[in-house]
Amino acid sequence: MSELNRNLLNLPEEQVHMTTQLKSAPKKKQAEKPPAHETKPPANHMDFNSITDKQFLVAAQHMNLDPDIQMLLRTPYRELVVQIPVRMQDGHLELFHGYRVQHNAVRGPYKGGLRFHHEVDLNEVRSLAALMTWKTALVDVPFGGAKGGVTCDPRRMSRLELQSLTRGFTSKIDMALGVYRDIPAPDVNTNAQVMAWILDEYGKKNGYTPAIVTGKPVNLGGSLGREQATGRGTMIITREACKSLGIDLKKAKVAIQGFGNVGSWTAILLAELGAKIVAVSDVQGGIFKEDGLDVQATLQHLKETGSVVDMPGTRELQSGEILTLDVDILVPAALGGVITRNNADDVQAKLIVEAANSPVTTRADEMLRSRGVTVVPDILVNAGGVTVSYFEWVQNLQQVRWELDHVNQELEKYMMKAWSLVHATHTEQGVPLRIAAYVAALDRLAEATQQRY
């Protein structure tokens, strides 16, 4: 007889009945889990890689670049595609797709940002990785080019979900990362907090390694001036382009599409130089004020409401209207492919400064040039970010901290050297600024490739 049955024989009848009921009570039915779901990139996304490739080929043909060198520079070294399962807070399992493309490391370790966006796909990341290769060569920092992305909509995700996604992605690609191999950084919809999660996740296997990622919080080894670096670089190039074109920046009207990190800092710094910021926009809409926006007040409104829309004293802009306003300078500082053959003829700005990556398509570029509109290319304009990332990497390796003034002074030197090289090539060879920038970058890359191969 079992111990339970012997104990039951010694209990009063009513207790035996209750105990038997408890023993045989049916288990509660568990609530059904929400069904799993997969976040996929869009089926018909713009082919950004073809835009980058065409620009490369035009420059390569202009400089009679050796076909062998062309093949080596056009072909990515490694492409990683990973699946990242995340248990969402409502209980369902979401499967995300992540990418890391290591394009070229002939001049140094791979370097490039990580973006979270619902439209990102492998082809876009491939294009952005190539742009990083040209960019690091142009500003002459000892890095190659890489890029990462995860197809997701961070606006609909909680902080905990974003952290799980970031850590999951890092753990899937950490074998390809390294202080002298591949160093990520922030990009669209990622920031210092996301970089801190990458640092921590990578450190679980490798120990504390601050140089593994740039754009970190200053408290965790980040650099002073990194947050504003891309906007500061954009300001420097805009200032110099205005000088070369005879545009008085203090009298210039500026429209900035995208009011995130890059766009907002560009607005702040250009306003400090006396420029009139008449229009800005974000994902929810745009605003316009003829006599100029109060940039600080606009930033405060954005902080309080989550958007620049409904800023008091401003006119609301219709979708895409900010790109065709009657302004002197247009700064696309959001996503790629916003100026196309469909709206290029409506652009009224005399100067377009590409703070975003590939905001102008190949055909639109040709149309703008035929109308005398000057386009300053992305690989020059937004190189301030990777330049100060280089400074951060150096500080981490040397275990020192630079003062903000020193960071900004060094950034000014690097951006001015790059601008001077591009402008000289543009003038001497009679090519557009974009092709001049590519030629300058490819010269350095070709020399390094020949030396190594």
Rounded CA separation 30/365 (Å): 59
> 442-451 burial, b for 16+ CB within 10 Å, e for fewer?
bbbbbebbee
Catalytic residue among 111, 147, 216, 253: 147
Residue 147 a catalytic site member: yes
Tally of CA atoms within 13 A in the half-sphere of 295 that contains its CB:
21
| Alpha-carbon distances of 274 from 230, 236, 237, 406, 416, rounded to whole Å | 19, 14, 15, 24, 20
Rounded CA separation 356/261 (Å): 11
Tell me the pairing of strands 93-104 and 285-288: unpaired
86: phi then psi, degrees, rounded to nearest 5: -130, 125
Rounded CA separation 224/11 (Å): 76
Query: Going by C-beta distance under 8 Å and a sequence separation of 6 or more, which residues neighbour residue 26?
Result: none
Q: Please state the length of the chain.
A: 453
Query: With contact defined as beta carbons under 8 Å apart, do 336 and 379 qualify?
Result: no
Number of H helices, E strands in the chain: 15, 13
Check the CA dihedral 16-20-23-28 and report its sign. negative
Q: Cα dihedral angle (62, 64, 66, 71), rounded to 10 degrees? A: 20
**What SS3 class is residue 383?**
coil
| Closest by CA position to 101, among listed 122, 84, 74 | 122
Tally of CA atoms within 13 A in the half-sphere of 105 that contains its CB:
18
Which residues are catalytic, by number? 147
